[in-house]
Structure 1
Amino acid sequence: MSAIDSMAKPAIVTPSDEKSYLALGDSYTIGESVKQVESFPYQLQNLLKTERINVTTPKVIATTGWTTDELQKAILQAKLTQKFDFVTLLIGVNNQYRGNSIITYKKEFSELLQTAISFANGDKTKVFVISIPDWGVTPFAKSAGKSQQSISTEIDNFNAANQEITVAAGVSYTNITPGSRKALSDLSLIANDGLHPSSKMYSEWANALFPKVLAVLK
């Protein structure tokens, strides 16, 4: 055998090795105002590839402006029968923005979390909830005459609700809200629309999720 023949050959990824990913949410999941590849699901996909975890193109059910009930309706309309290797869920900012009831949010978020678990084939370790970022620190909020403190307080209340439900269900919770507040003094974390996260902030979210997802998929 030649030296060349004896060299280790790179692993060949077959379709059976590919991992599937479902991302549920709103504008923060589709990456409003940034390129698709800069959204956190796609950045997470690329991070996993660096560890030879081949993730197929993320299946995204998310639209700017969606509340929990609108996400529920969209999931039903999608009629998905596929099960996924992992699922992320980030929803609630529009419930807060519209002044919707937090009691209703708790009910609908809990239902969405169970839906996410069912998409993960009942394996709660493969579901990852992300907290709602604080848009109160953005230039948009300031220009609209919104009170930063009142928005931050309401966001904290919604996050307290979704975190309690997530932890009680035994599901992973990633708190990106404190990091989102750095945008108050670092505008590089905000997209050109003055409201949504930039690629840089999404990178922080993807990096926060990365070790948790990797540990489950390896």
Structure 2
Amino acid sequence: MNRSHATKATPKTKADIRAIAQGIRDVITGLMVSHDGEAVHCLPMMRIFEMLYIQEELAMEIVPDDELKDAVAETEPDEQLIKIRESDYNSAAAGDRDALFTLAHELGHLFMHADQPKTFARSSIKYSLESDCEWQANTFASEFLVDRRLVDTKWSIHKVQETFGVTWEIARDALEEKKREEKLAHQLQRLNLPSLS
């Protein structure tokens, strides 16, 4: 992503985005809980898209690759429309983890950026990372795909990767973040300070 031409959005912190992603995940997975009541870890992204399409929560266009020359996919939140290149849609359908991340990223735009002003942040304009719609969508995708509440800090990166069906990088970042959060929580507890959550 070229931040000099990134769309500016209403600022959201990582905690704000986590709350949004977890809330949406909870609603969606509530519809998918297995018969034994176990939590859904690995989200069936193609099924989620199909469900949202049937419920008319989104429209999806699979377009020829050359129609989206500079992007894998794009979202028009106000129109509830996601366009995705045919090759990337096929990759997602085949289980490619990068392509599945792209779908989750586009859902982030859909859920967080409707009713946003269509302004652009140029390189001469200073704005925070928390106002960057691409950073927000990436953060949403990571939080949506890997529910930090279900991550065990004793797990390996590979275990996180396989449990949630994500790339190695997303699994590593999620595990490291969970470990930092637990360490901070223990330090606050040891000092008898209130938790940050």
| TM interval, short-chain normalised | under 0.3
* Structure possessing the higher radius of gyration over alpha carbons: 1
TM-score normalised to the size of structure 2?
Answer: 0.28
Normalised to the residue count of structure 1, the TM-score between the two structures is 0.26
